[in-house]
Structure 1
Amino acid sequence: MRMHWDEFLKAVQERGEYPSRDEAERATRVVLGLLGAHLVGEVRNELAGRLPETLAIVLLNPLQAHEPLSAERFIRATAAWIEGASEQTATWDVGAVLSVVADTAGDDLTSRVLIQLPPGYDLLFGRPQAS
């Protein structure tokens, strides 16, 4: 079931403790744009189907990544796309957005998303895997 735009942004704003909805939206768009470049096929389409339509479009029309980014490089890329961000604030942004994505997707789909990503993303989604 698709989550509503207001509900999704409210969850990101609360989790990220953003003072404004605009900040939550900016972080969400950048993180999902970068994430979309790393996912393919049915998993990306299924995840898009659970996100608000506006964000599904962002996920399906991603920012370009020439290679899969490690979790650390994903954070650095996020910092580069968000004006005034540092790696520390980008880590916070990524965690806030991806943990809401994981909640929206559910455990099964989140597990399938993580299979497509390099190691370390489980922590960004707030779903640490046993090693």
Structure 2
Amino acid sequence: MTVRREAFLDRVKERGEYDTLQEAERAARVVLALLGAHLVGEVRARLAACLPEDFALILLNPLQSAEPLSPERFVRATAAWIEGATEQTAAWDVSAALSTVADAAGDNLLKEILLQLPAGYDLLFGRPQPT
């Protein structure tokens, strides 16, 4: 089931403690654009189906990544795309956006998503997995 856009952004805003929905939207857009480059095939399509339409389109038309980024490099790349961001604020942005994505995806799809990502992304999604 698709999450409504307002509900999705409200959750990102709350988790990121942003002052405005625009800040929450900017973080979500950048994070989803980077995440989309790391996911392929049916998993990416199924995740897109859980997201509000404009965010689904961002996920399906991602920023290109030459290689899968480690969680640390993913945060650094996020910082590079958000004006005025630091690695600390970008880590916050990634966490706010990806934990909301994890809620939208549900546990089963999230497990499949994590299989396509380098180790350590479970922490970025706010869902530490037992080792």
Q: TM-score, normalised by structure 1?
A: 0.99
SS of match in other structure, 1:23: helix
What is the aligned partner in structure 2 of residue 27 from structure 1? 27
1:83 maps to 83
Alignment of 1:87-126 (within 5 A): 87-126=87-126
RMSD (Å) for aligned C-alpha atoms: 0.4
Give how far 1:39 is off.
Answer: 0.1
- CA deviations on 1:43-75 (whole Å, 9 max, x unpaired) are 000000000000000000001100000000000
Whole-Å separation in 2 of the counterparts to 1:4 and 1:82: 24
Equivalent residue number for residue 60 of structure 2: 60
Task: Give the C-alpha shift of residue 130 in structure 1.
Answer: 1.2
Q: Percent identity?
A: 68
Q: Structure 1: state its 5+ residue gaps.
A: none
CA distance in 1, matches of 2:126, 2:111: 12
Matched to 2:58, the amino acid is: V
Distance in 2 of aligned mates of 1:99 and 1:122: 10
Give a deviation string over 1:81-101, Cα, whole Å, max 9, x none. Answer: 000000000000000000000
Letter in 1 for 2:26: R
TM superposition outliers: structure 1 runs of 4+ over 2 Å: none
Please state whether the residue corresponding to 1:54 is helix, strand or coil: helix
- Which AA in structure 2 matches 1:34? L
SS of the equivalent of 2:12 reads: helix
Structure 2 CA distance for aligned equivalents of residues 69 and 15 of structure 1: 24
User: Which residues of structure 2 form unaligned runs of 5+?
Assistant: none
Instruction: Measure, in 2, the Cα distance between the counterparts of 1:72 and 1:37.
Output: 16
Q: Deviations over 1:5-63 (max 9, x none)?
A: 11100010011100011000000000000000000000000000000000000000001
